[in-house]
Amino acid sequence: MKYIIIIFFLISTNVFTQNAEFNANINTLNETLEGGFEDLRERALAMTWIINGKELSYGSKTVFIKPNRFKLDTIIFKKNASSKSDTILCNISKSVKYNIGFNTCCGDFYVSDVYIPKKRLKKEKSIVNFKITNNEPHKKYIGIIENAGILIEKENTVYRLFHTCASAMSSNIYEVSISEVEMSKDYDESFQLLCLFTNDNKEVSHANNYRKIKEKVSFLYLPLNDNALTVVLDLETNNWKLKSQY
């Protein structure tokens, strides 16, 4: 009987260690909002996340997800029962314990893993890569992640963006997009980017000198590892695809 218990324990432990874990800890939330933040607490408790079809909320059971570095995962987020849902793309590639935390300054959430602090991406690795195909010679594009952009001037070339230029207090769920642009002297019509880079990772001074003509790609992205997400846009068909770069 003793051997059966030991074998069962080892098998159970092995199963759980092969999964990534997502947790929204109610005790951590209460500590974060201690001292008169009842309105924010109600807002946080109304949030729900559906991670690859498994629902999570503050105080619910931990969600277990089998990692797969070769596919993208989805998190369906709702602020409350009556709000529209947002689809967040990510790549759950490792057996890591993730916590969903609440941002008191912005009223939104962020995701961090238990052992490594938020915003842990290595500076020498890009966060998102952009590539366009079948472009017309006179057209220009900007690839964006949150408040940072990169000029896309040539087709069939990978443009690597290393920064988000986001506030240290902001969420680590970022909007990623590709837009056709043109030069503009009208500040009110221009992109309100905090920084703009070239493909050699040099920042340029004219971040707000471009006006959006048409947005071609847009989605929300949560980086959960140090591997870049590559966005490939075919301008002949306007179809685009995503892949994790390993």
Stretch 49-57: mean pLDDT: 98
Long-range contacts of 243-246 (CB under 8 A, 24+ apart): 244/69, 244/70, 244/72, 244/91, 244/93, 245/129, 246/69
Express each pLDDT in 148-177 by its tens digit: 999 998 999 999 999 999 888 889 999 999
User: Helix (H, G, I), strand (E, B), or coil: what is residue 228?
Assistant: coil
Note the pLDDT tens digit of each residue in 170-205: 899 999 999 999 988 787 777 788 999 999 888 887
The strand pair at 109-113 and 97-102 is best described as antiparallel
**Percent of the chain at pLDDT above 70?**
88
Q: CA-CA distance, 223 to 221, in Å (whole number)? A: 6
The domains of the chain are located at 2-113, 128-244
User: pTM here?
Assistant: 0.87
CB 40 within 8 A of CB 107: yes
